[in-house]
C-alpha cells in the first residue's frame, strides 16, 4: 500500500513540475509571438541580454536547422515522443528517496513538451532569450523549455557524478 502511494507522489511531482514549466514556457512564447515582430530585439541589459524573437527550425541552439525539411519534420515529431517515453519508463524505477532525480526528469519532460507543442503548432520553436558579451560572443537564443532541459540534464549529470564518487573502490587482488 505504501509503494503505490509513493508512485502516485512521484507522478504528481512529475505533473506539477512539468506542468509549471509547460505553462511558463507557453505563456512567455505567446507573449513574444504576439507582441514582437520576427527578429525584433529589445535590450534588457546593454551588452549582455536582449529579448529577441527568433524561430528555430533546428534542435537546441539551431543544430540540424540546415538539414532537409522532411528529415527535420520526422525527427522532431518522433524524438520528443521517444524521450518522453524513456523518461516515464525511468520514472517507474526511480526510488522514493531520489527526489532530485524526479525533479530533473520532470524538468526535461516539461521542456520537451513545451518545445513539442511549438513544433506541432508552428513547425518551429519560438526562442527569445538572447545572451551575448558585447558584440564579441553571441550565445544562440533559447527559451524556458530549453533552459529546463539543460538544467534537468545538468542535475542528472551531477547525480551520476556523485553516485560514481560514492561507489566503493574494489580492493586490488592479492599479488
Are 112 and 102 in contact, with CB atoms under 8 Å apart? no
What mean pLDDT do residues 79-84 have? 90
- Tell me if residue 164 falls in helix, strand or coil: helix
At residue 60, the pLDDT reads 62
pLDDT in tens, 51-60: 999 999 876 6
Residues 6+ apart with CB under 8 A from 112: 80, 83, 84, 87, 145, 149
User: Is the pLDDT assigned to residue 6 strictly greater than 60?
Assistant: no
- According to the model, what pLDDT value does residue 154 have? 97
Residue 11 pLDDT > 70: yes
Closest CA to 56 of 151, 143, 148, 139: 143
What residue spans define the domains of the chain? 2-36+55-123+142-164
Per-residue pLDDT, 7: 59
How wide is the angle at C-alpha 144 spanned by C-alphas 159 and 8, nearest 5°? Answer: 55
- Catalytically active residues, by annotation: 127, 146
The alpha-helical segments, DSSP class H, found in 94-127 are 99-122
Residue located via cell numbers 524573437: 53
C-alpha cell at 26: 507557453
For position 18, what pLDDT does the model report? 97
Whether the per-residue pLDDT at 148 is higher than 60: the answer is yes
Residue 90 pLDDT class (50, 70, 90 cuts)? very high
pLDDT (0 to 100) of residue 161: 87
Helix (H) or strand (E) holding 145: helix 144-166
Amino acid at each position: 500500500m505504501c509503494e503505490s502511494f509513493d508512485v502516485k507522489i512521484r507522478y504528481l511531482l512529475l505533473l506539477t513540475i512539468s506542468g509549471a514549466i509547460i505553462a511558463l514556457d507557453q505563456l512567455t512564447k505567446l507573449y513574444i509571438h504576439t507582441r514582437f515582430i520576427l527578429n525584433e530585439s529589445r535590450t534588457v541589459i546593454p551588452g549582455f541580454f536582449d529579448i529577441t524573437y527568433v524561430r528555430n527550425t533546428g534542435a537546441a541552439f539551431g543544430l540540424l536547422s540546415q538539414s532537409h525539411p522532411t528529415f527535420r519534420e520526422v525527427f522532431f515529431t518522433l524524438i520528443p515522443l521517444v524521450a518522453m517515453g524513456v523518461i516515464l519508463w525511468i520514472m517507474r524505477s526511480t526510488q522514493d528517496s531520489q527526489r532530485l532525480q524526479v525533479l530533473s526528469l520532470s524538468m526535461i519532460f516539461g521542456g520537451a513538451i513545451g518545445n513539442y507543442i511549438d513544433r506541432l503548432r508552428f513547425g518551429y520553436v519560438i526562442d527569445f532569450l538572447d545572451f551575448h558579451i558585447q558584440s564579441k560572443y553571441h550565445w544562440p537564443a533559447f527559451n524556458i523549455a530549453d533552459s529546463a532541459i539543460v538544467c534537468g540534464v545538468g542535475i542528472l549529470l551531477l547525480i551520476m557524478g556523485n553516485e560514481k564518487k560514492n561507489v566503493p573502490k574494489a580492493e586490488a587482488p592479492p599479488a
